[in-house]
Structure 1
Amino acid sequence: MSVTDGSIAHDDEVFKRDLLAVLPHLRAFARGLCGRPDFADDLVQETAIKAWTARERFTPGTNMRAWTFAILRNHFLSELRRNRHQADYDPDSAERLLVMDADQEAPLHLSDMEVALMKLSPERREALLLVGAGGFTYEEAAKISDCAVGTMKSRVARARDQLARLLDPERDTIIVEPEKV
């Protein structure tokens, strides 16, 4: 093994360690983008494969999280474009629907926050997830989303406002006291 081979192996180990450390963050971001755990896991797996394959293009010392989030986002958008006209069909789910008892009181598996997040436009949801949940600066989030910093700030502000209204519908309601006669 030459010195060069040893440094490549060391670089691969460092890259692998850094990539493994960012996987939980990627999964949270993917889950927020698509709202489906199975699709989120597929996105993260593809992102990890793409990142590993392109590891020579990653500059050590730069932001691994931002780099991998951009890969995930681009892959997500590609999947949306590719599957735009396809409907999901799961034969197991379809069969369960046929034999399922009608239970109006069945608990929902999504929290109010998840439901509200999925009602945001994809751009606003992505912005809020990157800045609010991901901890990225507006500048980093704008770079990941390939938009201007001002656009990112606007998307985050509008997403926060819309989310607050979705979670508290009475927030914008004006209460008028009846006139005393």
Structure 2
Amino acid sequence: MSELQPSVELARDDIVKLIPALRAFARTFCRDPVDADDLVQETLVKALANLDKFEPGTRLKSWLFTIMRNTFYTRVKISSREVPGLENCASDSLRLDATQEWSARAREVEVAFSKLGDQYREILTLVVVLGESYETAAEICDCAIGTVKSRLNRARRQLLLELGEEI
């Protein structure tokens, strides 16, 4: 048991270092920062509880991202059966956005991004925002590299169309 202890400690330290990347990836699934933080926390709890199942020599980041992705989709499946309240609650529309041009454009991009399908948002975030390789993204999304490339291409085109940019 003592020979397993140092690798577990190293893995825990590496997990802590990956928390910022997990938070960024969680934001692709959850628009609300609090929900994203909850997803990160749930992912970390599951990862630490199952650390003995992590295979040394494989990418810890990919393993954690896969746990997060599966956790999110499980949540979606469960929440589709439970309807806690109205979708368009009046209290959600009581905020005022900044009037600066950059803020307006950022909002346009955010709206266009939110209109993308889950698979496209996920790929864009992994490859463009987080800088993951096609191979890593394919591993995380459990699909072929060609699928990653085509989803990324479609996502970029759809974003440009939504933003009224020329293709």
How high is the TM-score relative to the length of structure 2?
Answer: 0.82
Q: Distance in 2 between matches of 1:140 and 1:111?
A: 29
Name 2:53's counterpart in structure 1: 57
Question: Which of 113, 133, 143 matches 2:109?
Answer: 113
Deviation at 1:170, TM superposition (A): 4.5
Question: Which of 149, 155, 160 matches 1:159?
Answer: 155
Q: Distance in 2 between matches of 1:36 and 1:87?
A: 18
Q: Distance in 2 between matches of 1:114 and 1:74?
A: 24
Aligned residues: 158
> Residue 17 and residue 43 in structure 1: after superposition, are their counterparts in 2 closer, same or farther (change >3 A)?
same
Aligned ranges 1:29-178 → 2 under 5 Å: 29-89=25-85, 97=91, 106-107=96-97, 111-167=107-163, 169-171=164-166
Runs of 4+ in 1 over 6 A off after TM superposition: none
- Could you tell me the percent identity over the aligned residues? 39
Q: Distance in 2 between matches of 1:16 and 1:145?
A: 23
Q: Which entry has the higher C-alpha Rg, 1 or 2?
A: 1
Counterpart amino acid of 2:112?
A
Unmatched segments (≥5 aa) in structure 2: none
How high is the TM-score relative to the length of structure 1?
Answer: 0.76
